[in-house]
């Protein structure tokens, strides 16, 4: 590839890769959180680093979401300003697809904010806000498939399907386990 083309499209490449990595990290955080909460790997006490890994994946997804958004604003192909990245349906380019991403970003910030404030919140309120992780997952997936230029790539599709299957399975396992426990 010509270096002039790479330089010209650098922000676009950073935006694409940042979005894909943000989605992968957020999906990994959801799956890891479900693995921890279902106790599918056993109920004996776990080392603290397992929960720390879940928190780290969530925090990294915020960082890569920021990279994605900033790179979109710096890219010259589609004009994204603060209004387009902060207000759902404000974008002239694929407004619905972009809106899903904006919603995912706000939900992600709410979930991560609640995690940072967990000790200052009631357990019930923290759980309610943390359930928005499902909204982050769904909104992020819809955004990725509707707006992502790599959405048709077999690796992207396969990884997304795997994340969806794991999330659905672990959620079902958790729900049925809690019903059985009552």
Provide the 10 A C-beta neighbour count for residue 123: 8
Sequence-distant (6+) residues with CB within 8 A of 65 are 18, 19, 22, 26, 104, 105, 108
pLDDT tens digits in sequence order for the chain, 182 residues long: 566 666 778 999 999 999 999 999 999 999 999 998 887 777 777 788 888 999 999 999 999 999 999 999 999 888 899 999 999 999 999 999 999 999 999 999 999 999 999 999 999 999 999 999 999 999 999 999 999 889 999 999 999 999 999 999 999 998 988 777 66
CA pair distance 77, 64, nearest whole angstrom: 20
Question: Per the structure block, which two tokens stand in for 81?
Answer: 């300003």
SS3 label, residue 117: coil
In terms of Cα–Cα distance, which of 72, 75, 93 is closest to 147?
93
Nearest to 144 by CA among 90, 83, 84, 103: 103
Distance CA 180, CA 182 (A): 5
CB 55 within 8 A of CB 115: yes
pLDDT number for residue 37: 87
Model pLDDT, residue 2:
66
Structure tokens belonging to residue 164: 């969806």
Q: What confidence score (pLDDT) does residue 116 get?
A: 92
User: pLDDT at position 165, please?
Assistant: 98
Within the chain, what is the greatest distance between any pair of CA atoms?
64
Among residues 89, 107, 109, 111, which one has the least CA distance to residue 99? 89
From residue 40, how far is each of 31, 32, 170, 177, 182 by CA, in Å?
A: 12, 11, 9, 10, 18
Please state the φ and ψ torsions of residue 181, each to the nearest 5 degrees: -70, -20
pLDDT at 60: 98
């Amino acid at each position: 590839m010509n270096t002039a083309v790479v330089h010209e499209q650098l922000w676009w490449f950073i935006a694409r890769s940042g979005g894909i990595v943000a989605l992968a990290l957020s999906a990994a955080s959801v799956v890891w959180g479900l693995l921890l909460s279902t106790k599918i790997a056993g109920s004996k006490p776990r080392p603290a680093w397992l929960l720390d890994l879940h928190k780290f994946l969530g925090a990294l997804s915020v960082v890569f979401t920021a990279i994605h958004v900033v790179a979109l604003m710096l890219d010259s192909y589609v004009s994204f300003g603060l209004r387009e990245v902060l207000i759902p349906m404000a974008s002239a380019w694929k407004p619905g697809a972009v809106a899903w991403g904006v919603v995912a970003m706000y939900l992600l910030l709410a979930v991560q904010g609640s995690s940072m404030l967990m000790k200052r919140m009631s357990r019930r309120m923290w759980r309610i806000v943390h359930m928005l992780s499902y909204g982050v997952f769904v909104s992020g997936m819809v955004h990725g498939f509707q707006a992502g230029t790599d959405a048709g790539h077999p690796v992207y599709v396969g990884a997304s399907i795997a994340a969806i299957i794991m999330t659905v399975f672990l959620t079902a396992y958790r729900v049925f386990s809690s019903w059985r426990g009552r």
